[in-house]
């Protein structure tokens, strides 16, 4: 029996060498599922050996955390120093950043933590170059800032490295529900027309994961990879933007050629050394994080418009409560909302209510409890 690593390599090779078409769809789908199962096993073993995490637990702070991801020597540390005033070690050789250095960036009242990490090398997902530790930190950030330069332009390789570690860039969880059962075989149903997972492919993939009974509901025309993501279960979906550093070394035509090749990403060209493009990059980071500002309105009084509470798009009343003194969260009864998220001014809502930028909010606490804060 060949080793786990060899089995993985064999399947990777077979997938690479198999032309993907209608006739091979089923076969390739099964191979991908097998590969995912083997990679999960590899993760499990690495975990059991204790290889990972230790010393890499980064205390997150600020309103959001951004991870700088790139090959060694593209200028990640120089960039961190240029935009935050952190002191990250800079060297003209690879692997200079052996630990993760945080810096803090201010953007329209929000504090953004930026993490400078060791450069990713090919094979990082397998644990090369402390890759596993770096990738585990990347999983926890709110935004990835990819950085490449003139000599390290293999952006796809970088993205693949994250993909192999279960990190999905600029995606969202697939609309697929898999429910294992005790008997009855595997049934697949869908609410839309299915093109990628038709002809029993979905059921085959589910079986590769050891599920022989249960239901699969496809609420979108999902691909084999998406179904595998749902079955593997340890995927994270992270937003990302891309910067091209050392653009002081690039000619106009070189920039245009790079731009064309990097589509659909729209890179921001910067030079961390000469500080060109810094404002534009900071803006791109701030925009991508989608901050919203809400204001507290004490009962019967005007809101304090000087002191916004900074949240992110998609945050709910419960996320706001986490930013307030704990007793307010404990005594919370309901909230009154004025603004874009309210159906009418002063609407009463619960913890689940989705907030919008510029909302005014009054927290109503339970009768008998004393107001906190």
Ligand X SMILES: Nc1nc2c(ncn2[C@@H]2O[C@H](COP(=O)(O)OP(=O)(O)O)[C@@H](O)[C@H]2O)c(=O)[nH]1
Piece of 104-112, 183-191, 240-248, 338-346 that binds ligand X (CB under 6 A): 240-248
Which member of 57, 98, 249, 354 binds ligand X (CB under 6 A)? 249
Piece of 71-79, 198-206, 340-348, 351-359 that binds ligand X (CB under 6 A): 71-79
Per CB under 6 A, 254 contacts ligand X: no
Residue ranges in the chain assigned as alpha helix (H): 4-17, 25-48, 76-84, 131-138, 155-164, 201-208, 224-232, 252-262, 278-289, 317-322, 326-331
Binders of Mg ion among 74-133, rule CB under 5 A?
76-77, 96-97
The smaller minimum CB distance to Mg ion, of residues 130 and 168, is found at: 130
Least distance between ligand X and beta carbon 105 (Å): 16
Site string for ligand X, 268-287 (x = CB under 6 A): ---xxx--------------
Least distance between ligand X and beta carbon 67 (Å): 13
Least distance between ligand X and beta carbon 119 (Å): 5
Which member of 38, 69, 74, 148 binds ligand X (CB under 6 A)? 74
- CA 300-305-311 angle, 5° bins: 105
**28: CB partners within 8 A, 6+ apart:** 15, 18, 20, 224
The smaller minimum CB distance to ligand X, of residues 113 and 271, is found at: 271
Question: Are the CB atoms for 245 and 68 separated by under 8 Å?
Answer: no
The phi and psi torsions of 169 (rounded to 5 degrees) equal -90, 125
Which member of 163, 225, 248, 358 binds ligand X (CB under 6 A)? 248
Coil, strand, or helix at residue 78? helix
Binders of Mg ion among 23-82, rule CB under 5 A?
76-77
- CA 137-51-206 angle, 5° bins: 75
The smaller minimum CB distance to Mg ion, of residues 96 and 215, is found at: 96
Least distance between Mg ion and beta carbon 116 (Å): 6
Piece of 56-64, 173-181, 223-231, 241-249 that binds ligand X (CB under 6 A): 241-249
Q: Which of 334, 299, 300 has its CA nearest to residue 317?
A: 334
CA 165 → CA 47, 124, 136, 300, 302, distances in Å? 14, 9, 9, 52, 49
Tell me which residue has its CB nearest to ligand X. Answer: 75
Q: Judging by beta carbons within 10 Å of its beta carbon (0-12, 13-18, 19+), is residue 252 exposed, middle or buried?
A: exposed
Cα 338 to chain centroid distance, Å, stands at 31
The smaller minimum CB distance to ligand X, of residues 274 and 326, is found at: 274
Give the C-alpha separation, 329 to 115, whole Å: 30
- Which residues are at the interface with ligand X (CB under 6 A)? 70, 72-78, 90-92, 96-97, 119, 245-246, 248-249, 271-273
């Amino acid at each position: 029996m060949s080793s786990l690593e060899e089995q993985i390599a064999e399947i990777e090779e077979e997938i690479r060498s198999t032309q993907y078409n209608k006739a091979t769809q089923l076969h390739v789908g099964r191979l991908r599922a097998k590969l995912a199962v083997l990679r999960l096993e590899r993760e499990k073993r690495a975990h059991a050996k204790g290889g990972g995490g230790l010393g890499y637990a980064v205390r997150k702070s600020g309103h959001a955390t951004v991870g700088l991801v790139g090959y060694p020597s593209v200028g990640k540390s120089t960039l961190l120093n240029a935009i935050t005033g952190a002191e990250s070690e800079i060297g003209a050789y690879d692997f200079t950043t052996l630990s993760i250095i945080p810096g803090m960036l201010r953007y329209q009242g929000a504090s953004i933590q930026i993490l400078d990490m060791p450069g990713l090398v090919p094979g990082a997902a397998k644990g090369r170059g402390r890759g596993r530790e770096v990738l585990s930190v990347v999983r926890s950030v709110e935004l990835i800032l990819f950085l490449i330069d003139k000599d390290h332009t293999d952006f796809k390789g970088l993205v693949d490295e994250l993909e192999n570690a279960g990190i999905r860039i600029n995606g969202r969880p697939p609309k697929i529900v898999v429910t294992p059962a005790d008997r009855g075989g595997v049934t697949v149903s869908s609410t839309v027309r299915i093109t990628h997972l038709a002809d029993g492919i979905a059921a085959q993939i589910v079986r590769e994961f050891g599920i022989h009974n249960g239901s699969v509901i496809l609420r979108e025309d999902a691909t084999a990879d998406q179904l595998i993501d749902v079955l593997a279960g340890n995927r994270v979906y992270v937003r990302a933007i891309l910067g091209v550093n050392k653009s002081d070394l690039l000619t106009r035509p070189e920039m245009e050629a790079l731009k064309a090749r990097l589509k659909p990403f729209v890179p921001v060209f910067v030079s961390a050394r000469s500080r060109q493009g810094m404002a534009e990059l900071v803006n791109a980071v701030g925009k991508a994080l989608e901050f919203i500002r809400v204001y507290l309105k004490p009962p019967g009084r005007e809101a304090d418009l000087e002191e916004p509470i900074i949240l992110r798009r998609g945050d709910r009343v419960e996320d706001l409560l986490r930013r307030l003194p704990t007793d307010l969260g404990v005594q919370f009864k309901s909230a009154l909302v004025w603004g874009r998220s309210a159906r009418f001014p002063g609407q009463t809502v619960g913890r689940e209510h989705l907030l919008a930028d510029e909302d005014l909010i009054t927290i109503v606490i339970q009768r008998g409890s004393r107001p906190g804060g």
